Amino acid sequence: MIARYSRPAMAALWTEEAKLGRWLEVELAVCRAWAARGVIPAADLGAIEARAGFSVERTQELERTTNHDVVAFLTDVAERIGPPSRWVHFGMTSSDVLDTGLALAVRRAGDLLLAEQAALTRTLRDLALRHAGVVCAGRTHGVHAEPTTFGLKLAGHAFESRRNEERLAAAIEAAAVGKLSGAVGTYATLDPALEAEVLAALGIGGEPVATQVVARDRHAQLVCAMAVAASSLDRLATELRHLQRTELREAEEAFAPGQKGSSAMPHKRNPITAERISGLARVVRGHAVAALEDVALWHERDISHSSVERIILPDAFLALDYMLARTQALMEGLVVRPERMREVLDSSHGLVYSQRVLLGLVEAGLTREDAYALVQRNAMRAWDEGRPLGDLLEADPDVAARLRPEDVRALMDPAWYTRHVPEVMQRVAAL
């Protein structure tokens, strides 16, 4: 991911320095386990721990000759340690280091994501409760449907955010898995007890049955979970982009002093943060496709997944981390206009109350079919003539035969539609 969309804490986990540092963590943990078994002499372990290190520049220099990143890294480390380095990587294959190191990255990067997702859940919950009673138009197909509240809109997003917490947590746990079982997973040069000891010390899980690598369905699950989380942010951003349209202006991104919306049009206040979130969601969803393609490897392993993962895993983590932070800032600064929401609701001439009137006519004795036809007849006139539905209903003799004018007005009250919102908000408060 480019620096523009990378935050420092997450970016620091995906540097070359950090990657090689994790490889060294794995190698040293295995050396300690071998030493505990008497394989590595105590003096050699002491030398290894005292001298072990690397430089990105030297490793990269060596890789230009070896054409193998792990071998280059091990050579760099060996140069610093000297003769005791013969024990480093003892019994291991490259993927033991690569996949176990990757599991460490997933765990640490995952912790950052989960913290951001949880913070967004809390923000959405609080905003939903704050705006629970703010009546606005509910829309289906982009067209006014029935009254709802802005708080209820946000409540759905709050619960979706919580589900993303759960999905991400499960996927991170599934992917934060290493292996130390050798070239094809048979433990021919290591043993299961050593693997369990090392992985426990590193704070990650183990692949019960590995090939040369950890199974890539785990990483596909992770990237897919991130794609779902990104899509949820896209859904929220898209909603806010629609509400900021000039014709509506029900809600709006904060516009800071000195900010410019357009190089040509001084009046512009564009939903640029929401649009950026929607755009980056496309990137993360694209990475999910690549992660799924990585699942099917040849036999015990090929490296067709390797080049893909070097791009998509850091990118997906960085993009989602950035998106979560920007969404948080967007929601914290959101300008909400309750009065405008009510104006927009009322602008559709009372058509949003058509179902309530239909039900009132049914309760007054009409069949549902006749009631539907009667209300629809007047609703189409309201659409076409721009006249209030209530006035048309009161003037319709077929309606008047069943409902008094005061009955019609009583049926066109948004409070009836939102009367259960407080009950729903109790669920929100429990998030």
**CATH number for the domain harbouring residue 401:** 1.10.40.30
Q: Which residue in the list 55, 262, 304, 347 is annotated as catalytic?
A: 262
Q: Which of 28, 60, 90 marks a domain boundary?
A: 90
Compute the distance between CA of residue 310 and CA of residue 293 in angstroms, rounded to an integer. 14
Return the pLDDT at 263. Answer: 84
Contact 40, 81 (CB under 8 A): no
Could you tell me if residue 171 is inside a domain? yes
Average pLDDT of the residues of the chain: 97
Return the pLDDT at 260. Answer: 87
Task: Please write the tens of the pLDDT for every residue from 80-110.
Answer: 999 999 999 999 999 999 999 999 999 999 9
Tokens 């299961």 belong to 192
Nearest to 155 by CA among 398, 370, 425: 425
Q: Looking at the structure, do residues 299 and 395 belong to the same domain, yes or no?
A: no
Task: Please write the tens of the pLDDT for every residue from 405-430.
Answer: 999 999 999 999 999 999 999 999 99
Report the pLDDT averaged over residues 18-43: 98
Full residue range of the structural domain in which residue 29 is found: 1-90
Task: Please write the tens of the pLDDT for every residue from 342-369.
Answer: 999 999 999 999 999 999 999 999 999 9
Return the pLDDT at 224. Answer: 98
Could you tell me if residue 259 is inside a domain? no
Return the pLDDT at 255. Answer: 86
User: For residue 15, what is the enclosing H or E element?
Assistant: none
Could you tell me if residue 426 is inside a domain? no
Burial of 208 (0-12, 13-18, 19+ CB in 10 A): exposed
Q: Looking at the structure, do residues 230 and 289 belong to the same domain, yes or no?
A: yes
Q: Which of 90, 125, 143 marks a domain boundary?
A: 90
Q: Looking at the structure, do residues 238 and 296 belong to the same domain, yes or no?
A: yes
Q: Which residue in the list 141, 263, 267, 299 is annotated as catalytic?
A: 141
Q: Looking at the structure, do residues 111 and 210 belong to the same domain, yes or no?
A: yes
Task: Please write the tens of the pLDDT for every residue from 106-139.
Answer: 999 999 999 999 999 999 999 999 999 999 999 9
Return the pLDDT at 261. Answer: 84
Looking at the predicted structure, is the pLDDT value of residue 259 above 90? no
Q: State the pLDDT confidence band at 330, using cuts at 50, 70 and 90.
A: very high
Strand, helix or coil at 25? helix
Looking at the predicted structure, is the pLDDT value of residue 1 above 80? no
205 backbone dihedrals φ, ψ, rounded to 5°: -85, 180
Q: Looking at the structure, do residues 150 and 279 belong to the same domain, yes or no?
A: yes
Compute the distance between CA of residue 421 and CA of residue 406 in angstroms, rounded to an integer. 25
Task: Please write the tens of the pLDDT for every residue from 262-319.
Answer: 888 888 889 999 999 999 999 999 999 999 999 999 999 999 999 999 999 999 999 9
Q: State the pLDDT confidence band at 66, using cuts at 50, 70 and 90.
A: very high
What's the pTM?
0.95
User: Is 150 or 255 the better-scoring residue by pLDDT?
Assistant: 150
Could you tell me if residue 260 is inside a domain? no
Q: Looking at the structure, do residues 166 and 28 belong to the same domain, yes or no?
A: no
Could you tell me if residue 113 is inside a domain? yes
User: Is 141 marked active-site?
Assistant: yes
User: Other CB atoms closer than 10 Å to residue 124's CB: what's the count?
Assistant: 25
Return the pLDDT at 400. Answer: 95
Q: For the domain that residue 48 is a member of, what is the CATH number?
A: 1.10.275.10
Task: Provide the number of structural domains found in the chain.
Answer: 3
Compute the distance between CA of residue 200 and CA of residue 204 in angstroms, rounded to an integer. 6
Compute the distance between CA of residue 215 and CA of residue 125 in angstroms, rounded to an integer. 37
